[in-house]
Structure 1
Amino acid sequence: MSDTPAATQAASIASPINLILFSLLILLAYFRLRPSPPSTLPKGPAPVVFRTFTPPTLQPYDGEKDRPVYLAVRGKVFDVTPGKNFYGPGGPYENFAGRDASRGLACGSFDEDMLTKDLDGPLDDLSGLGQDEMQALQDWEDRFSEKYLVVGKLVAVSEGQEGS
């Protein structure tokens, strides 16, 4: 009585094909139920700190040597680095980089005489601009506000020293 029904049934369950199928079932269960690695978010841009600029401290932000490109419009300092082709070195608006661009944008002029010469003096109060020029300046400011981050405010050197 070596071939009892229990022994025959055990032999048929333990057949090589059944062992292979059982192993595959365990393997599939493992891959299906194993813990997945934690998902990571991509690294975001460096945080932007809102700061107060004076004309001399704004001037280095001209896009040279891979520096960011900032320009000021009516006291707001915008990071225009994403538009470096326009505002950075070699761009059509490059003379505004690192400067107060208010008068030049209002007048639609890229001339050097539109830029404040005395960086330690008072800011341009935009006196002498007409209604059309002020509207043009407002349009530029709105455009910059839609496209670029405001990273600071521009104050005269005398105001910047008082706040230090």
Structure 2
Amino acid sequence: MSTPDEAVPQPAEVMTIATPINLILLSLFVILVYLQLRPKAPVSLPKGPPPVVFRTFTPTTLLPFNGENDAPVYLAVRGRVFDVTPGKNFYGPGGPYENFAGRDASRGLACQSFDEEMLTKDLKGPLDDLKDLDNEQLENLQSWEERFSEKYLVVGKLVAEGDPEAKNA
């Protein structure tokens, strides 16, 4: 004969989903869903440089654009003023072409000379007409002008102090 414990059937173990591991997994799932669906801060784009307005320069109004005190670096080639600020390492203070910053660089570029004597001394006088340059120097100047046109923005034109357009400078 059987013992009393063996005769009575035992209740089957009840399966529950509320086990500790399931609760941890459910909590992680809820956290991940919240992180994906929570409100996000609006994306802010970095501020760009201020807009550059095309303007007329004279040699004296161009001079302050030499890169000192965080000023932009401009230089003129054959009457066109280029913003060479992206090349500040070359044209700004301490750069190999710093003599040209804020100045008309046409003669120096044509003659492939970065010396002070290539710059116009009399800023109030007429612009350098470059008439005494030979063909090779003019070709040098043309290639520099093309290079600047490809790399830098034209931000203005250079006129002499007495020019009627100089009133706008």
Q: Same fold (TM over 0.5)?
A: yes
Which of 149, 155, 158 pairs up with 2:153? 149
Q: How far 1:28 sits from its partner (Å)?
A: 3.7
Between stretches 44-53 and 69-78, larger displacement belongs to 44-53
Given the two structures, how large is their TM-score scaled by the length of structure 2? 0.75
**Aligned-pair identity (%):** 71
Please report the TM-score for the alignment, with normalisation by the length of structure 1: 0.77
> Which structure: larger Rg?
2
1:46 aligns with 2:38: no
Matches within 5 A, 1:97-112: 97-112=101-116
Deviates more, 1:30-39 or 1:130-139: 30-39
Larger relative helix fraction = 1
Question: Which amino acid is the alignment partner of residue 161 of structure 1?
Answer: A
Residue 95, structure 1, aligned to residue 99, structure 2? yes
Look up the match of 1:77: 81
Q: Tell me, in whole angstroms, the C-alpha distance in 1 between the residues paired with 2:72 and 2:102.
A: 9
Considering only aligned residues, what root-mean-square deviation do their CA atoms show, in Å?
Answer: 2.7
Aligned residue in 2 for 1:161: 166
Matched residues in 1 for 2:147 and 2:157: separation?
Answer: 17
Residue 38 of structure 2 corresponds to residue 37 of structure 1: no
Give the match for residue 3 of structure 2.
none
- The 1-side partners of 2:139 and 2:98 are apart by 23
**Aligned amino acid, residue 166 of structure 2:** Q
The corresponding residue for 1:120 is: 124
Cα deviations by residue, 1:37-64 (Å, 9 ceiling, x for unpaired): 2222222222222221110001112222
Map of 2:142 onto structure 1:
138
Count of residues paired in the alignment: 156
Larger mean CA deviation between 143-152 and 17-26 belongs to: 17-26
Amino acid of the structure 2 residue aligned with 1:154 = L
Q: Structure 2 CA distance, aligned partners of 1:109 and 1:80?
A: 18
Contact map agreement 2:56 2:168 (CA 8 A) in 1: no
Tell which deviates more after alignment, 117-126 or 61-70.
Answer: 61-70
Unpaired segments of 5 or more residues in structure 2? 1-13
Q: Secondary structure at the match of 2:43?
A: coil
Q: Distance in 1 between matches of 2:27 and 2:98?
A: 69
